[in-house]
Amino acid sequence: MSTIASHALVIMLHGVGSSGADLAPLASVWKDALPGAVFASPNAPSHSSFGAGYQWFSVAGVTEENRSGRIEEARPAFDATISAIIKENGFADRLDRAVLVGFSQGTIMALDAVASGRWPVGAVVGFSGRLASPLPLAPVVKTPVLLVHGSADPVIPSAETTRAAAALQPLGMNTETIIVPGLGHTISADGAARAGAFMAEALK
């Protein structure tokens, strides 16, 4: 198995009402596939509208019509969070060695980061999410994307992953989708393992 030529940076982005600590254990799952990688799992900038945890944007009263506007409003705080991690770890001039991994709302923000052209990273992995960015989409690099979703997700339907891929592929972003039969709104062991292999391949 080939190894990564230099260090990589994996930034994990949690969902609503969660925290960075909830995704941090994935680092131990992926460390063998990504030797020498640095893992970061920040808290989102705002406290959750529903009490515990944090959020990238509020989902209180969110609709199909207003979701993209909330994503746009969340960009400055999101970018400040990502920028601080990138600079702290010395990847400002090596964004092609950085990966964004999102779960649920974290996936929404990760996809927005690349689809808007703001963060031309080396790869994106999204679990249980959707593409809901303001149009037009304008990626500046052909970032490879892996989207994994449970067929039984009661929070965000798996059809959103299929829809996201259909929007990203024509933009030149090589998008792989995995719909896991019977899985709910969570990350399976198989999905996490596939993500590790995908990131290793994207960064080799």
User: Which active-site residues does the annotation give?
Assistant: 104, 153, 185
Backbone dihedral region of 5: left (phi > 0), alpha (psi from -120 to 50 degrees) or beta? alpha
Strand partners, 11: 40, 100
Element (H or E) spanning 47, and its range?
strand 46-47
**Token pair of 79 as six digits:** 């970018």
Cβ proximity of 173 and 142 under 8 Å: yes
Alpha-helical regions (H) of the chain: 20-23, 26-30, 67-88, 105-115, 159-168, 189-203
